[in-house]
């Protein structure tokens, strides 16, 4: 039974907490579901598993693979999809990156781990500003729309609203089922205009569902 702790391992633990704390602070500040404690523990756990793997003969690769697999399950748990978007992808990527940083600390590459921690923090901090700039650019969105019946005039009404919001559209597919019209349409324009259109579509009694 050995109760000794190597100085190098203590340094690894300290660096791991610092790296995880920096990223976790940003997540907690933005009130994300995966906050400060979770990110720190993910980084610390990855570091500990990597340290332990050094004491097993030929087990390094297997432990690393299992860490990646386990983190994949955690990341998948924070991703969910609604009708209009997929949420949690950034949080899942943060979990994955934090685990990688923790493993880097565990093998003693402290400089590399700190560099990537700073890079990750900068990317997460600037993402809102970058997204704001991107929103001003034109983007494409495919929307599936179900109308209340097969009246083609409803589609023309929708086209008028699209044009009124300074958007462009292309009909991808039109189908009819149970005397109801279903349309898949590709809409191009700024995110602001797309959001405004979606709000107007919610108020249209002719549309029963869209996603």
Q: Are residues 114 and 163 in the same domain?
A: no
Phi/psi region, residue 171 (left: phi>0; alpha: psi -120 to 50; beta: rest), is: beta
Q: Are residues 39 and 112 in the same domain?
A: yes
Residue 1 in any domain: the answer is no
How many separate domains does the chain show?
A: 2
Residues 120 and 124: their CA atoms lie apart, in Å, by: 6
Give me the CATH number covering residue 173.
3.30.70.380
- Considering 135, 165, 185, which residue would you say is the last residue of a domain? 135
Which of 204, 162, 150, 153 has the alpha carbon at shortest distance from 187? 162
Q: Are residues 116 and 12 in the same domain?
A: yes
Q: Are residues 62 and 124 in the same domain?
A: yes
Residues 52 and 85: their CA atoms lie apart, in Å, by: 40
Residues 10 and 12: their CA atoms lie apart, in Å, by: 5
pLDDT values of the chain reduced to their tens digit, one per residue, 211 residues = 555 667 788 888 889 989 988 888 888 887 777 778 888 888 888 888 887 777 655 555 666 677 777 777 777 777 776 655 667 777 888 888 888 888 888 888 888 889 889 988 888 888 777 767 766 676 788 888 998 888 888 888 888 898 898 888 888 888 888 888 889 998 888 878 888 888 888 888 888 888 8
Whether the pTM exceeds 0.75: the reply is no
Residue 91 in any domain: the answer is yes
For residue 174, give its domain range: 139-210
């Amino acid at each position: 039974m050995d109760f000794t702790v190597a100085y190098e391992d203590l340094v690894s633990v300290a660096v791991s907490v610092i790296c995880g704390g920096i990223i976790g602070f940003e997540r907690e500040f933005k009130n994300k579901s995966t906050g400060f404690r979770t990110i720190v523990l993910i980084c610390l756990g990855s570091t500990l598993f990597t340290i332990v793997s050094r004491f097993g003969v030929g087990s390094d690769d297997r432990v690393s693979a299992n860490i990646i697999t386990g983190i994949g399950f955690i990341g998948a748990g924070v991703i969910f999809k609604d009708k209009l978007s997929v949420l949690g992808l950034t949080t899942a990527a943060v979990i994955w990156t934090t685990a990688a940083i923790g493993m880097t600390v565990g093998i003693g590459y402290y400089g590399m781990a700190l560099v990537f921690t700073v890079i990750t923090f900068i990317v997460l901090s600037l993402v809102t500003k970058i997204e704001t700039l991107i929103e001003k650019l034109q983007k494409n969105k495919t929307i599936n729309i179900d109308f209340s019946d097969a009246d083609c005039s409803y589609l023309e009404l929708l086209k008028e609203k699209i044009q009124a919001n300074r958007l462009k559209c292309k009909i991808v597919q039109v189908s009819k089922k149970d005397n109801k019209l279903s349309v898949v349409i590709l809409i191009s324009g700024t995110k602001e205009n797309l959001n405004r259109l979606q709000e107007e579509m919610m108020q249209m009694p002719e549309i029963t569902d869209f996603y």
